[in-house]
């Protein structure tokens, strides 16, 4: 969806194109039709087009909302004890492939507790020297 949107009052006068300080607006006349064009990567969101439009045709509010567009949504892996989000499922798959072993999902706090429990229950037998 374009951030630059006009309502049906736009008559193609090009005042917005001629007054855009960032050259973010352009137009193309082709096959008896005029098309307004807007380039968001150039646009400074200054509002000049909105101010000069004699038709009050520019819906400037679209420049202001959707400041954060969602790019991708991925499933989360959570700590097996407290449920704190840790990392994404695809990230876990990447790490598992690289390390060729699957890590148990625990947050740092519960990782320490689980490690301490494991150490307490699996003490080394006689002859084992801890390094
Ligand atoms: S200044 Fe307004 S009416 Fe003129 S082309 Fe731009 S949006 Fe349309
Ligand atoms: S907001 Fe400013 S920079 Fe963006 S198109 Fe309008 S006049 Fe150009």
Every domain of the chain and the residues it spans: 15-64, 76-121
Please choose from 20, 37, 64 the residue to mutate so as to test ligand 2's pocket, defined by most ligand atoms within 8 A of CB.
Answer: 20
The residues, any chain, with a CB within 8 Å of residue 92's CB and separated by 6 or more, are 77, 102, 103, 105
**Which one is predicted more confidently, 61 or 10?**
10
Q: Are 47 and 3 in contact (CB under 8 A)?
A: no
**Which one is predicted more confidently, 107 or 14?**
14
Nearest to 20 by CA among 56, 40, 65: 40
pLDDT at residue 36, rounded to an integer: 96
| Percent of the chain clearing pLDDT 90 (strictly above) | 53
Q: CATH second-level architecture of 15-64?
A: 2-Layer Sandwich (3.30)
pLDDT at residue 100, rounded to an integer: 84
> Closest Cα to atom 2, ligand 2: which residue?
46
Element (H, E) at 76: strand 76-78
Confidence of residue 20 (pLDDT cuts 50, 70, 90): very high
């Amino acid at each position: 969806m374009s951030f630059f949107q006009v309502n049906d009052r736009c008559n193609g006068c090009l005042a917005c194109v001629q007054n855009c300080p960032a050259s973010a607006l352009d137009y193309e006349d082709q096959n008896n039709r005029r098309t307004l064009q807007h380039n968001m990567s150039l646009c400074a969101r200054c509002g000049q087009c909105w101010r000069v439009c004699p038709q009050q045709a520019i819906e400037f509010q679209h420049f202001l909302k959707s400041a954060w567009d969602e790019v991708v949504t991925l499933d989360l892996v959570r700590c097996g004890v407290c449920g704190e989000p840790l990392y994404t499922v695809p990230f876990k798959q990447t790490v598992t492939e690289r390390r060729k072993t699957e890590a148990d999902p625990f947050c740092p706090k519960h990782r320490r507790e689980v490690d301490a429990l494991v150490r307490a229950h699996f003490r080394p037998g006689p002859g084992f020297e801890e390094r």
